[in-house]
Amino acid sequence: MSSPCTIALGVSYSGTNYHGWQYQGESIATLQSALEEALGKVADERVRVTCAGRTDSGVHATKQVINFPCRVDRPLQAWVMGTNTHLADTISVTWSRMVPIEFDARKSAVARRYYYLIYNQKVRSGIFPNMYTREHRLLDADRMHSAGQHLLGENDFSSFRAANCQSHTPRRNVQYINVSRKGELILIDIQANAFLHHMVRNIAGVLLDIGAGEKPVDWTKELLALKDRKKASITAAAEGLYLVDVIYPDFPQIPEGPELPHILSLLT
């Protein structure tokens, strides 16, 4: 590798033990700092990465995509196996690709896909307690699905953005929302060109109240028109949220489709 190039990596992680993605100083455990430290040991130099989406504290990913400029000669597999030897078991690099130098994991993406996983039971389970959101109210997944359809297309999502969201515009294009149930698990599957801060969790909070019968199905349509975050539900918990896919049609080097562990693949 005689000249600088760009390396892209696929990363999966449990966000439970991290204060979100973004670097916040050496004393705070973040996913970015853990990955940059591990990559730096493989590269024998400082590495700074760009990610497709900055997930919050407690949020998980099965297909986060990152990239970084590289000036050293390493086999592609070294970025997978070598980096993983320096990471905790809760983070894994799953693949590596050499991509054109203009590739940017955030700016080159045309869409992101998230899952929101709900365990619908009155009594908590002791299995994987940080990998889903438990909802004790009996939920109607069909009502939730119908309500989600009012959010499709390009809209002003001011009612679904966090107060501290730094985006210059509240407009986003939601391409689909599907809500389904399998036994005690309910899955919200949502894809958009991009998401505002807490947008998926705020949508999930609204759909939970609708699914519980506390709000009408067309409440989502009303909230869009109100453009007022204070009129909507509380933000749903972080634990149920997963980044499962990032779409790059102009970069065939990036693997297509969501990368799901067995428990999530059973729900699709």
For the annotated catalytic residues, the residue numbers are 56
- State how far Cα 24 lies from the chain centre: 19
Q: Helix, strand, coil shares of the chain as percentages rounded to 5? A: 25, 25, 50
Orientation angle between helical segments 199-211 and 219-226, nearest 10 degrees: 140
Among the residues of 103-246, which ranges form H helices?
141-148, 199-211, 219-226
**Dist. CA 161–CA 146, nearest whole Å:** 21
Q: CA dist 84 to 122, 141, 156, Å? A: 38, 38, 41
Which tokens belong to 81?
């196996």
Q: Residue 57 has what DSSP assignment?
A: T
